[in-house]
Amino acid sequence: MKQLPRTLLGALALSLLVAGCATSTPDRYYTLAAPADAVPVPAATPVFIELAPVAVPERLARPQMLVQRVGGGAEVAVLEQHRWSASFENELRDALAAGIASRLGAIDVTKGGRQPSQPAWRIAVQLQRFDAIEATRVDAAFSWTVRRSDSERSATCQWAGSEPVGQGIDALALGAQRATSQAAQAIARQVSALQADPAAACRGAG
């Protein structure tokens, strides 16, 4: 059998490589931060918040999106090519911080920038549930504790909700974004109530 010239073999290998690259699906990245939450409107009196790292279930502590298939029972799909822009717990903390700050007109000083004489609202959030069900809905449940840095009094609250979604991973990501924004609104509502009345009852649920 006659051997093919090396130049022809090289051309064939290159064409196969290009074809393989053309058919591969590029990675896609998503954010939990809603665009409207990006820039807070400053409050008349400076308000500072400190948001601790969000405690999330270990199965969610990854950049890949986790999706439950309809009719898939207990099976969960880890989507390697559909990822959050950071590890899920970091993405969630940043989105919540932006959402709370935006609604309160507050400054997030979690990473510094606050003088010791300036009190801040310290917020610790725990994610109880975050289930993305393909072409159906996103179910989420949060609990949190709020305490002012110059006080020993703390308040605990929780929120749970469900966001309907349409077909596709983009729709799931937007549903997750809306659920996160709703949680941020609930936390901000409680902080606002505590600003007015330090003994205010939980106003985040619902």
Q: 21-35 pLDDT, tens per residue?
A: 444 677 999 999 988
Q: Which among 157, 154, 131 has a CA at the least distance from the CA of 142? A: 157
Find the range with the poorest average confidence among 3-7, 84-88, 168-172.
Answer: 3-7
Q: 86-138 pLDDT, tens per residue?
A: 999 999 999 999 999 999 999 999 887 777 778 999 999 999 999 999 999 99
CA 108, 123, 155, 180 dihedral sign is positive
pLDDT above 90 (res 170): yes
Q: Give residue 177's identity as a one-letter amino acid code.
A: Q
What's the maximum distance between 2 C-alpha atoms anywhere in the chain? Answer: 90
What band does 199 get if pLDDT is binned at 50, 70 and 90? Answer: confident
How much is the pLDDT for 22? 43
How much is the pLDDT for 4? 45
pLDDT above 80 (res 17): no
Local structure of residue 168 (DSSP, 8 states) = S
How much is the pLDDT for 167? 95
Whether pTM > 0.85 for this model: the answer is no
Q: 41-93 pLDDT, tens per residue?
A: 677 788 999 999 999 999 999 999 999 988 767 889 999 999 999 999 999 99
How much is the pLDDT for 202? 80
Domains of the chain (ranges; CATH) run 27-196 (3.40.50.10610)
CA 30, 34, 35, 39 dihedral sign is negative
Contact 177, 34 (CB under 8 A): yes
Show Cβ contacts of residue 62 under 8 Å, excluding neighbours closer than 6 positions: 78, 87, 88
